[in-house]
Chain A
Amino acid sequence: MKYAYYPGCASSGTAKECEESIQAVMRSLGAELTELEDWNCCGAAIATGVSYLLSLALPARNLALAERAESDLVTGCSRCYMNLIRAVHYTQQNASVRQKVNELLAEAGVQYSGKARLRHLLDVIINDVGLDVIAERVTRPLEGLRVAPYYGCCQGMWTYAQFDSVEEPHCFDQLLATLGAEVVDYPLKTACCGGTLSMSKRTVGAGLISDLLAAAGDADCIVTACPLCMFNLNSFQNEAGRIKGTHYNIPVLFLTQIMGIALGLPEKALGLQRNAVPVGGLYKKIAVGTAVPSGEASASGPR
C-alpha cells in the first residue's frame, strides 16, 4: 500500500500530534506514505474568501503534482481533503473553470488533467487496510473506554459520500468498535465545529464548540477525524464552559492517536503529550473498565 501524502500546513504546527500519530500508525499498518514533494497550502478556509480561482488553483497544483507521482493522494486533514476534491469536481464539471484554473497553474509550470485520485485517511484505513487487519493488530483493546466519535462536517458531502453515508455515517463508529471501545451515542457527530470562526468570530465559534462538548455527555473522550476540529475542541474548553455555565475537561484525540493507543504504540510516537487537554487519565480507564463486547457499533444517528 503506497500513497502520495499531503500533510497540510497545520501538520507542522497546531496539528503536529495528528501528523505524528498518522505517520506512526500508518507505518505500523504497513502503509507507505510518501510526502508529496513541494506541496503548497490548499487554501484552508481562507482562500475562498479572497479569490474563487485561487481557492481551486491552490489545491489543483497539488493534484497536478500528485498526477506525476502516479499513486493515490491521501490526506488526513478534512479541510484539505475538501478543498482538493472540490478542485477535482469543479474543474471536471465546468470547462471555463477548468480553463481558468489551468491558466493559473501554467504560471506555476504545471497542468492538471483530471487524473489524480484522492483518498481520505479514514477511507484508506477502513477500506484499504481493513478492519479485520486492524482487529488483529490491537494489543490494548479499549474496553471500558466510552468514546464519542466526531466525524465533523467537511467530510459530509465531499468525503463520506465517496465511501459511507453523508447524513448517517458509521465508518468511524465501526473503527472505534473494532478497537474495542464502547462507542457512545453522539447526537452532534456530523455537526460543524465552526472551523475558523473560533478565531475570526469568537462568540459564534465558541458557542458551537460548547454545544459539541455538551452533547458528548459522559463520554470519556471525543475522537475527531479532522485536525481543525481537534484544535477547536481542545483549545476552547474554558470558554465553552463559561457559555454553558459549567466546566469542561474532556480529552479530545485524533483518530490515529486512539488507534495508536489500541495498537500499543508508544505515547510519544503518537504525540499524546501535545494534546491540550491531558489524555493520561484515559489509560487508567482502559485498564480498569468492565469488559464490553467489541465489534458492535452504535446504531445511532446524528441529531
Chain B
Amino acid sequence: MAEGTNDVRIGVYTCHCGSNIAGTVDVEELTAFAEELGSVTVARNYKFMCSEPGQALIKTDIEELGLNRVVVAACSPRMHEITFRRVCQEKGLNPYQLHICNIREQCSWVHKDGATEKAKALVSAAVSRAYYLEPLERREVPVAPAVLVVGGGIAGIQAALKIADAGQKVYLVEREPSVGGHMIQLDKTFPTLDCSACILTPRMAAVKTHPNIELMTYSEVVNVQGYVGNFKATIRRKPRYVDENLCTGCGICQEKCPWKAESEFDCGLGQRKAIYTPFPQAVPNVPVIDPEHCVYFLRDGKCGACLKFCERGAIDLNQTEKMVEVEVGAVIVATGYDLMDPSEIGRLGYNHFPNVITSLEFERLCNATGPTSGRIVVNGQEPQSVAIIHCVGSRDRKYHAYCSRVCCMYALKFAHLIGERIEGAKVYQFYIDMRCYGKGFEEFYRRAGGEGVTFIRGRPARVTDLALSEEERGKLVVVCENTLVGSVMRVPVDLVVLCPAMEARADARDVARLFNLTQSADGFLQERHAKLEPVATANDGVFVVGCAQGPKDIPDTVAQALAGAAEALALIGRGHVELEAATATVDETLCQGCGRCEEICQFHAPMLSKNGRLIPVSSINEALCKGCGACAVACPTGAISIRHFTRQQILAELEALSGVPV
C-alpha cells in the first residue's frame, strides 16, 4: 500500500531462515503487517533471503518498483549486512539506505511465545528508521603496502615467506634472539617423523635473506596505532650488545665466556653462556648478551673476555635499545603458545622427582643439539621403562577444560623414539582417549603402538616413590586405575614424561590489548568466526594464526599461516581500503570547544583546533573514527551526531517501538 511523502519507497523482506525464524515467527502474518506500514511499497518473505533467489527478489523490486529503501528482517547484521549492501549497490541504490532488522538472534531464537508480536514491533521500528536513512559515500584511503608479522615461529615464518613471495614487504618481529619458535626445539615431528630442524631451518634461513622481509629479532612490538590499511607500529629493538653487521657468527665469544646460565631453550635442562645464541642453527647467527648473567654488567666492567677475543670488534657493550616505527596495511599475530607448568598438579610429582619431566624437556633430550646430545639419559642412566601420561592439565575443569590436541600424537612419537634408541625399553601410555584424527594419524598409531608399548586406559592418580614391593624399589610408581580391566594398577618405571596442556602465552592479555583483540574463554586469541573466519579477528586488518589462536599441530599451523597471508595479501593487494561511512560529524555552529569528545574517544578521532577562530572547535578524523557514538553522548550541546545513526533515525525507531510519540 502507501505511497509515502517525499516519495520514500520501502521494500520489506522477511527471511524464514529455514525454520530458524519461521519456526517461531509467523512470517506470513509479519509480511502482511509490514505491507500496511507507511511508505512501504512492497513486503515479501522467502526461505533464505541471503541466497541467490532471495537476493534476486530484492534486485528485481529495486529495478521494477523503484525502491529507494530496503529493510531485511532476518539474522544479525553481523552475518549479512555486507551481502545485502552489495545487492543494493548492484542495482544503483546507496548501501546505507539498507537496514537490517534482527528478528533471529533478538527474537525467534530467544522467545517461544510472543515472537511474532515482537517481530512486528521490530519491523515497524525498522521501517520508521529506514524512512530517514540517507545515502552516504565511503571514502577510499590508500593502504600501506606492507605487512607486520608478529612472532617468528613456523606460523610467522610461513606467513612472512608467502607474503614476501607475492612481492609485498614484510616486517617480521620476533622477541627471542632467533626465529624458530617451539618447533625448532622439537626433534622429530609426527606423523612423518620428519626431522624438525631439517624442514624448518631452510625456511628460517629464507626469512633472513628474502629481499622483501625485514627480520627484527630480539625485538617486540610495543605500540600499535591506526586502522585497517594504515597501522603504525612501534617496535622496540632490544640491545644485543653485538653489532649484527660486523658479527660473523664464529662463536668464539661463546666459547670464551666464563659465565653460565640456565638455558631457556633447553627448558632449564642444560646451560648456556652469558653471551649466547640459543642453539647452533640460530637465525640470525648473532649472539646476544644477557645482562642478568653477564659479569660485565653485574659487576661494572669486570670481565670483557668476549671483547678481547672478537676479531671483528663486533661486541658493543654500549648499545642501547632502539625504537623503530613501521607503517603497514595489515598485521598477522603469530605469537604461539606456552606449555603449562605441571607443578600445579602436585600429585604427579613434577616438583619432587627429577625423573618426572615434561614433553618439551623430553624433546630436548631427544634432540641432537640438546643437553645430552640426543641420548635419552636421566640421572645419568638410560631409562628401561618410561611412563607417558596424557591429558596433564587438559580436559580438566580445574586447569584447562579443552583438549590440547597434539599430545596423543606426540606421545606415540615418543614411544617410537624410545623404542628406536633404547633397546628393550618398555613404554606405558596412560591415556583416556586416543585422538588420532588427522591425515596419517591413525596409521601412525598403528605403527607406533607396536612391540614394547603398553596402553593403559586411565588417568593416573599419582606418581610416588614409596615402594610397596621389591620391584618398585628405586623406581617411580604410577598409580592408576586400569579402566578397561577395572582395577587399580601400580606401574614401576624409570622415567615419567608428562603431556602438559598447551596454553595461551602468559602475556596473551597484553598482546590482545596491544592489537585490540579479544580472548576466547580459554585464554587464546579469538578468531572472528569459529567456522568461516578462522584467522580474521574482531579488529579489521589484524589476523591471528597458529597456536596463538588455539592448540594445534604443525600442518594446521601452516595452513592457518597461509590463510593469514592470503587475508593480508587480499587486503593490501587492493591498494586501497574503504572507510566505514557511519562516522561522527561535528556541527561547528553548535560546538563550544569543551573538549569532552577528545577526552572520551579511545581512538583519538576528535581533535580540537582553533584554526583562526575565537574558540577551538572539534573535528573528527574519519579514518580513526569507529562510529561508536561515545562522543555524541558526551557532547553537551548536541553538536556531534553519528551518520547513519542520527537522532532523527533513532527516535523514529523508539517511537515505533513504544507507540509513544517522541
B438-466 vs A, CB cutoff 8 Å, 1 = contact: the mask equals: 00000000000000000000000011111
B461-473 vs A, CB cutoff 8 Å, 1 = contact: the mask equals: 0111110000000
Bound together, the chains give a CA A165 to CA B346 distance in angstroms of: 10
Q: Are A187 and B466 in contact (CB under 8 A)?
A: yes
Bound together, the chains give a CA A300 to CA B464 distance in angstroms of: 12
- List residues of chain B with CB within 8 A of the CB of A280: none
Bound together, the chains give a CA A187 to CA B349 distance in angstroms of: 11
- List residues of chain B with CB within 8 A of the CB of A303: 349, 352, 462-466
- List residues of chain A with CB within 8 A of the CB of B347: 167, 302
- List residues of chain B with CB within 8 A of the CB of A300: 352
- List residues of chain A with CB within 8 A of the CB of B346: 165, 167-168, 301-302
- List residues of chain B with CB within 8 A of the CB of A167: 346-347
**In A278-303, which residues have CB < 8 Å from any B CB?**
300-303
Answer whether residue B483 sits at the interface, using C-beta atoms and an 8 A cutoff: no
- List residues of chain A with CB within 8 A of the CB of B463: 303
Closest CB-CB distance, B14 to chain A, in whole Å? 42
**In A97-142, which residues have CB < 8 Å from any B CB?**
none
Closest CB-CB distance, A23 to chain B, in whole Å? 35
Bound together, the chains give a CA A80 to CA B352 distance in angstroms of: 33
Q: Are B466 and A301 in contact (CB under 8 A)?
A: no
Partner of A188, one of B349, B465, B466: B466
Answer whether residue B248 sits at the interface, using C-beta atoms and an 8 A cutoff: no
Bound together, the chains give a CA A300 to CA B349 distance in angstroms of: 10
Q: How many A-B residue pairs have CB under 8 A?
A: 23
Closest CB-CB distance, A17 to chain B, in whole Å? 30
Bound together, the chains give a CA A188 to CA B347 distance in angstroms of: 12
- List residues of chain A with CB within 8 A of the CB of B89: none
Give 23 CB contacts A-B under 8 Å. A165-B346, A167-B346, A167-B347, A168-B346, A187-B464, A187-B465, A187-B466, A188-B466, A215-B466, A300-B352, A301-B346, A301-B349, A301-B351, A301-B352, A302-B346, A302-B347, A303-B349, A303-B352, A303-B462, A303-B463, A303-B464, A303-B465, A303-B466
Bound together, the chains give a CA A160 to CA B518 distance in angstroms of: 36
- List residues of chain B with CB within 8 A of the CB of A302: 346-347
Closest CB-CB distance, B392 to chain A, in whole Å? 14
- List residues of chain B with CB within 8 A of the CB of A215: 466
Would you call the interface of chain A mostly helix, strand, loop, or mixed? loop
- List residues of chain B with CB within 8 A of the CB of A301: 346, 349, 351-352
Closest CB-CB distance, B467 to chain A, in whole Å? 10
Interface size class, chain B = 10 to 19
- List residues of chain B with CB within 8 A of the CB of A188: 466
Bound together, the chains give a CA A300 to CA B347 distance in angstroms of: 12
A199-232 vs B, CB cutoff 8 Å, 1 = contact: the mask equals: 0000000000000000100000000000000000
Bound together, the chains give a CA A187 to CA B351 distance in angstroms of: 14
Bound together, the chains give a CA A206 to CA B349 distance in angstroms of: 27
Bound together, the chains give a CA A301 to CA B347 distance in angstroms of: 8
Closest to A215 in B: B466
Which A residues contact B (CB, under 8 angstroms)?
A: 165, 167-168, 187-188, 215, 300-303
Most buried by A among B346, B351, B465: B346
**In B329-366, which residues have CB < 8 Å from any A CB?**
346-347, 349, 351-352
Bound together, the chains give a CA A301 to CA B465 distance in angstroms of: 11
Bound together, the chains give a CA A302 to CA B463 distance in angstroms of: 10
Bound together, the chains give a CA A302 to CA B465 distance in angstroms of: 10
The 3 closest A-B pairs by CB, nearest first: A303-B464, A168-B346, A167-B346
B353-383 vs A, CB cutoff 8 Å, 1 = contact: the mask equals: 0000000000000000000000000000000
Closest to A165 in B: B346
Bound together, the chains give a CA A187 to CA B468 distance in angstroms of: 12
Bound together, the chains give a CA A165 to CA B345 distance in angstroms of: 11
Bound together, the chains give a CA A187 to CA B462 distance in angstroms of: 12
Bound together, the chains give a CA A210 to CA B346 distance in angstroms of: 24
Closest CB-CB distance, A168 to chain B, in whole Å? 4
Closest CB-CB distance, B348 to chain A, in whole Å? 10
**In B497-544, which residues have CB < 8 Å from any A CB?**
none
Bound together, the chains give a CA A188 to CA B466 distance in angstroms of: 9
Closest CB-CB distance, B462 to chain A, in whole Å? 7
Closest CB-CB distance, A50 to chain B, in whole Å? 29
Bound together, the chains give a CA A167 to CA B463 distance in angstroms of: 13
- List residues of chain A with CB within 8 A of the CB of B464: 187, 303
Bound together, the chains give a CA A167 to CA B349 distance in angstroms of: 11
Bound together, the chains give a CA A215 to CA B349 distance in angstroms of: 17
Bound together, the chains give a CA A79 to CA B338 distance in angstroms of: 41
Bound together, the chains give a CA A287 to CA B463 distance in angstroms of: 38
Bound together, the chains give a CA A167 to CA B466 distance in angstroms of: 17
Bound together, the chains give a CA A300 to CA B465 distance in angstroms of: 12
Bound together, the chains give a CA A303 to CA B463 distance in angstroms of: 7
Bound together, the chains give a CA A188 to CA B349 distance in angstroms of: 14
- List residues of chain B with CB within 8 A of the CB of A168: 346
- List residues of chain A with CB within 8 A of the CB of B466: 187-188, 215, 303
Given A301-B346, A302-B346; 4 other pairs, CB 8 A cutoff: A303-B349, A303-B352, A303-B463, A303-B464
Bound together, the chains give a CA A130 to CA B465 distance in angstroms of: 34
Bound together, the chains give a CA A289 to CA B600 distance in angstroms of: 72
Closest to B479 in A: A303
Bound together, the chains give a CA A167 to CA B352 distance in angstroms of: 13
Closest CB-CB distance, A136 to chain B, in whole Å? 32
Closest to B476 in A: A303
- List residues of chain A with CB within 8 A of the CB of B462: 303
Bound together, the chains give a CA A63 to CA B466 distance in angstroms of: 41
Closest CB-CB distance, B322 to chain A, in whole Å? 45
Closest to B347 in A: A167
Closest to A166 in B: B346
**In B226-250, which residues have CB < 8 Å from any A CB?**
none
Closest CB-CB distance, A186 to chain B, in whole Å? 10
Bound together, the chains give a CA A298 to CA B466 distance in angstroms of: 17
Closest to A300 in B: B352
B603-630 vs A, CB cutoff 8 Å, 1 = contact: the mask equals: 0000000000000000000000000000
Closest CB-CB distance, B351 to chain A, in whole Å? 7
Closest to B462 in A: A303
- List residues of chain A with CB within 8 A of the CB of B352: 300-301, 303
Closest to B464 in A: A303
Closest CB-CB distance, B477 to chain A, in whole Å? 9
- List residues of chain B with CB within 8 A of the CB of A165: 346
Closest to A187 in B: B466
Bound together, the chains give a CA A187 to CA B463 distance in angstroms of: 11
- List residues of chain A with CB within 8 A of the CB of B465: 187, 303
Bound together, the chains give a CA A303 to CA B348 distance in angstroms of: 9
Closest CB-CB distance, A260 to chain B, in whole Å? 31
- List residues of chain A with CB within 8 A of the CB of B351: 301
**In B297-349, which residues have CB < 8 Å from any A CB?**
346-347, 349
Bound together, the chains give a CA A27 to CA B10 distance in angstroms of: 86
Closest to B465 in A: A303
**In B88-138, which residues have CB < 8 Å from any A CB?**
none
Bound together, the chains give a CA A188 to CA B462 distance in angstroms of: 12
Bound together, the chains give a CA A167 to CA B348 distance in angstroms of: 11
Closest to A185 in B: B352
Closest CB-CB distance, B470 to chain A, in whole Å? 14
Bound together, the chains give a CA A167 to CA B464 distance in angstroms of: 14
**In B537-558, which residues have CB < 8 Å from any A CB?**
none
Closest CB-CB distance, B301 to chain A, in whole Å? 39
Closest CB-CB distance, A160 to chain B, in whole Å? 12
Closest CB-CB distance, B492 to chain A, in whole Å? 14
